[in-house]
Structure 1
């Protein structure tokens, strides 16, 4: 079988279905977000021909560049990377969803820019479940207060939580990150935040573990698009 984007995408979907089967879940419960960061516009065109509309990106500069080249496709950009407050203007104009909302200063900046654009968007709150200093996210203990404050901002619909697990081959350590996010979401729902339905967790190397721990969306890049070539 040829190693094409089409065959890789089909293989990922099969793996999602099998992981759901092992977890006693329906594949309809787990959405696939194609993470297109660093991949060229042509790769996104190919994915769009296969029915992909939502693309995960980490940097606003890359979204701006790709949006201008792919305007005819009308892609839905999902920001999954750390967003600097001074980039909120571009995010409010171009992005359909932000999965990396992790601090109040960013929420305020986004709210003001979204009001100016006359837009509302879905957001996920990024929570830090890994001990690694390189990982962004709100501390779990701060989530309840943060959600309360967000209720006063009407330009953003808070739909759930997102996390990045520890970068480790240790299945138990990775799954612990995912499990802690699910348990945190459940506690928040019990406290009245019923809208927190979504859990975005799991990437190419660990998404099957994430599905077993309750992920409702997995963020897959290289397993669909191939190996990344990072600039020097």
Structure 2
């Protein structure tokens, strides 16, 4: 290993230790076990070598939100022990390509996409786990900020339409309904939004007891997400450092 690789590995190891300690503290405050929370390393814009180094340090779950970058990185790393999560917005015409490498799609937000994914996994040995992305924007301003029309939202299905999409996933051959995912709205405290997500997650589990995943929380709002029941957190900056989109 080169000196540069040694230095990067040491940096990632220190970041990972800090993140795991942060997750442990957040779980302690929430009265939860750290074993209930899975860390997903979001490696967009970072090289495949970082994935390899994190894998050596014990990380097994990796997230990408750009299909082309994800496809190339998965092929370059070529490690069957890793689980790849697609966490970005997904066009229906990319469903088949993403299903070739992703074990989980976090951003299912319409029945048309469910249909595309169902067709994409036909003949696949392992089912594709799908999470319904929930729009946590608050058009009524109950979180204390008036944002007409849900401004500040980060994509997803309005809460009153989640049941329809979740039902479509659960009924689709080759797909497994994993649960729900969300990104906190911009510009407001994330706690009330994640509380709404917790309520939606409970409603989904009432109809689909197997849908236990709650994918929520990123570098800026990890603690709030865990406090409101997140089972999977998606971390990039705190783990890998600041992104350079020129890489």
Query: What is the TM-score when the length of structure 1 is the normalising length?
Result: 0.92
Q: Which residue of 2 aligns with 1:210?
A: 225
Of 173, 185, 190, which residue of structure 2 is paired with 1:154? 173
Q: Deviations over 1:22-53 (max 9, x none)?
A: 11111111111111111111111110110112
Correspondence 1:1-232 to 2 at 5 A? 4-72=11-79, 75-130=82-137, 131-132=150-151, 135-168=154-187, 170-171=188-189, 174-190=190-206, 192-231=207-246
Q: Deviations over 1:76-125 (max 9, x none)?
A: 21000001111111112111110111111111111101004454111111
Does the 8 Å CA contact 1:99/1:123 hold for their aligned counterparts? yes
Distance in 2 separating the partners of 1:178 and 1:110: 27
Does the 8 Å CA contact 1:92/1:117 hold for their aligned counterparts? no
Does the 8 Å CA contact 2:152/2:186 hold for their aligned counterparts? no
The CA RMSD over aligned residues, in Å, is 1.8
Does the 8 Å CA contact 2:130/2:169 hold for their aligned counterparts? no
Q: Which residue of 1 aligns with 2:4?
A: none
Q: Deviations over 1:196-229 (max 9, x none)?
A: 2111100001111111111111111110111100
Query: What is the TM-score when the length of structure 2 is the normalising length?
Result: 0.86
Q: CA deviation at 1:176?
A: 1.1
Distance in 1 separating the partners of 2:14 and 2:95: 36
Q: Which runs of 5+ in 1 are unaligned?
A: none
Q: CA deviation at 1:65?
A: 1.1
SS, match of residue 151 in structure 1:
helix
Does the 8 Å CA contact 1:129/1:165 hold for their aligned counterparts? yes
Question: Moved runs in structure 1, 4+ residues, more than 6 A?
Answer: none
Q: Which runs of 5+ in 2 are unaligned?
A: 1-6, 138-149
Q: CA deviation at 1:135?
A: 1.7
Deviates more, 1:91-100 or 1:148-157: 148-157
